[in-house]
Amino acid sequence: MNRFDDFLRSTLSEIAEEAVPVNLTQRAVGAARRKRVTTLTVAGVAVAAILIGTPIAVAAAGGGSTPGTPAPSPSPSVAVPSPSPSVSAPVPSPSPTKGAPTPSPSPSKPKTSGLPDNPTPTPTSAYPSNYPSPSPSR
């Protein structure tokens, strides 16, 4: 160990003695507790957001997977006084389960001409007026 090292050590010791010792225990404990509260709060908010957001996201995703929004009148032109109302009834059962209340007749048919398997040619606007329709088409 040379003289320079000795001098360096003694200088460092002299400088260090200028420091004023203070009690930092309470400040450190308070800071640690505040940090812990903050961490727990942030974690709680994150968990709550996940718990609340997940069902909403799932419901939204499930509602969007149907072929179409479950419109109350999938066949507006079908609202005619046909003798078989049950068949042409628009969306008979609002099923609470997710998914569309699939009407029993051919759900793949477009709803504009949602004519079910009604054998009676219910005349719509597509039919000419002079078409002999057995059923009063109004």
Q: What residue ranges bind other proteins (CB under 8 A)?
A: 3-5, 7-9, 11-25, 27-29, 31-32, 35-36
Identify which of residues 18 and 138 has a Cβ nearer to other proteins in the complex. Answer: 18
CB of 18 vs other proteins, minimal distance in Å: 7
CB 15, min distance to other proteins, A: 6
CA angle 78, 81, 83 (to 5 degrees): 105
Helices (H), 17-117: 25-63, 85-88
Name the residue nearer to other proteins (CB basis): 4 or 132: 4
Q: How far is the CB of 29 from other proteins (least distance, A)?
A: 6
Kindly give, in sequence order, each residue whose CB lies less than 8 Å from that of residue 75, ignoring residues fewer than 6 positions away: 88, 90, 111, 112, 113, 114, 115
Q: Give the nearer residue to other proteins in terms of CB position, either 7 or 127.
A: 7
Query: What DSSP assignment string belongs to 61-72?
Result: HHHTTSSS---S
**Distance in angstroms (rounded) separating the CA atoms of residues 71 and 40:** 45
Of 15 and 51, nearer to other proteins (C-beta) is: 15
